[in-house]
Chain A
Amino acid sequence: MIVKALYIVLSVALVTVWGLTLTGIVRKIVARVHGRIGPPVWQPFVDIIKNNAKRTGISHGVMFYLGPVFRIAGGMGTFLFIPVLFGSDMFSNFSFAGDVFLVMYFIFFGQLGMALGSGEGGHPYSAIAVARGLAQMSAFEVPFALSVISLAVQYDTFSVSSIVAAQQGSIFSWTMFTNPLATIAAIIAMLGMNMHSPFDVVIAPQEIPIGPPTEYQGSFLGMLHTNRGIFNGAKLILFMNLYFGGATTIPEMIVKTFCIYMISVFVGVSFPRFRTDQSIRFFLGIPTLIGVAAVILYWL
């Protein structure tokens, strides 16, 4: 029991550090593409320290406190039911039959908590961003859910660990090759989930200040930033597990999650921003059809 708890702490620490470093690396890469020098790779850590070092803070009520707590609970919840490394005692986290549902629920749990918290902040921009975020979230949920259903039909299981186990062997037993339609639908949904351009209208820098966390400062913001590391890492590891054969060693995990994240980054730097109605139409169009096709194909 204690050993398991220690392992969990270790694996959360691993994903936090890797998630934050990944954002730092990507910022650096994007800066180099722009022809800039860019912030140092450890900049996200400095930002978190600075935010937690603010001496004063203001609150707007109980829900305002709970918003970041829910957000980080969503991030941790997502992460704790995904095996980071397949077959490893230390980094396998929890697993049980049907945990893929729990994971999918946790992905959206944080957003809902944040919506309540920032709603109490009372800033009009928060409310706008929350409305946009929830609308867009329900849209990309559709292709992602269809894709997961297709996987469940394919592997006849609802457990992430079993799905990973079924993909072991050679590279050609990865879902990417055995069920390409589901993979495509899920990757497109991931673009929305990672909130890079063209789906970054929720945060919408330069338009509505900073989205839901407009009123959050100090350690609230530090918590949200920490969660960004955990949640980013958890989502990437989930996609790696479901579609790219999981990982058995830490270097393999790092390389795979980095490559998956770069899909988002490449699309993000290449395309301008969608409006909310455009992105909803987009997600409910071709990606949903691909998802439906993936389900039907495995049903037959």
Chain B
Amino acid sequence: MHNKETLPNLGLPEHERDLFCDARPRVSKPLASYIEKFLNWSRANSLWILAYGTGCGAIELRPLFTARFDISRYGMAPRPTPRQASLLMIGGYLSVKTLKRVIRSYEQMQNPKFVIGLGSCTVNGGMYWDSYNTINRLDHYLPVDVYITGCMPRPEAIIAGFEQLKKRIKDGRAEGANQYAEQFDWYKANQKKIITDWNMPDYNW
């Protein structure tokens, strides 16, 4: 039976429950301050992006890699797999169906990980705020470090958002992964409230 330490994984069929991990995410304490400061510097200067182009925001990410805006000068690079990425960029509105995939991707990333919500849709639903199928506030489902408003934000605004995120990381305030682990039950309850056909493990390693 499940206790406080393990997750029930009730969404999975009975015979598959043994195949998946049922451990809860754990909080990883930061190291001593001066070491952590150095590590945070390296994290801020080597942000690898997992871009999740759910909406129009995906179009606005392309120019960032071109000669005109060139985010590689900040040490940022696109990374095609969540295992290696440290920054999840949500590019626009999220329907219930895409939110499920975003949660999977986010949970597969390794601590420390950061989330940037791109565009008004992630802030309050944007122009889809009264739609029956798009979420209104991303921060009820995932810990968001930086919101970049706009519909859609220009690449300059996105770069400003990156600067904001780097400042947060260097100050040691970007502890979204630990926050997710601490308030795991709250996040899960919110996620499960709208994702009614939860047919995956409660925590996707």
Query: Within 8 Å by CB, do A and B touch in the complex?
Result: yes
Q: Counting CB contacts under 8 A, is B43 at the interface?
A: yes
Question: Closest approach, in angstroms, between the C-beta of B58 and any C-beta of chain A?
Answer: 14
Contacts of A215 in B (CB 8 A): 81, 83
Count of interface residues, chain A, beta-carbon cutoff 8 Å = 31
Q: A205 near B43 (CB under 8 angstroms)?
A: no
- Cβ 8 A contact of A54, one of B38, B81, B112: B112
Q: In the complex, which residue of chain B has the Cβ closest to the Cβ of A57?
A: B110
Q: Counting CB contacts under 8 A, is A50 at the interface?
A: yes
Number of A-B contacts (CB under 8 A): 80
Q: A39 near B75 (CB under 8 angstroms)?
A: yes
Q: B39 near A53 (CB under 8 angstroms)?
A: yes
Given contacts A216-B83, A217-B84, contact A34 B67 (CB under 8 A): yes
Question: Which chain A residues in 51-72 approach chain B with CB under 8 Å?
Answer: 53-58
Q: Counting CB contacts under 8 A, is A209 at the interface?
A: yes
Q: Counting CB contacts under 8 A, is A43 at the interface?
A: yes
**A99 vs B110: C-alpha distance when bound (angstroms):** 42
Q: B72 near A36 (CB under 8 angstroms)?
A: yes
Q: A58 near B111 (CB under 8 angstroms)?
A: no
- Cβ 8 A contact of A31, one of B72, B83, B84, B111: B72
Contacts of A35 in B (CB 8 A): 67
Size bracket of the B interface: 20 to 34
Could you say which of B26, B38, B75 has the most chain A C-beta atoms within 10 Å of its C-beta? B75
- Cβ 8 A contact of A47, one of B46, B73, B111, B205: B46
Contacts of B39 in A (CB 8 A): 49-50, 53
Q: Hey, what's the 0/1 contact readout for A18-37 against B, CB within 8 Å counting as 1?
A: 00000000010001001111
Other contacts beyond A36-B73, A47-B46: 15, CB < 8 A: A31-B70, A36-B67, A39-B72, A39-B73, A39-B74, A46-B42, A46-B75, A47-B75, A50-B86, A58-B83, A206-B80, A209-B81, A210-B80, A217-B83, A217-B110
The 7 closest A-B pairs by CB, nearest first: A209-B80, A55-B28, A35-B67, A49-B42, A217-B83, A53-B39, A50-B46
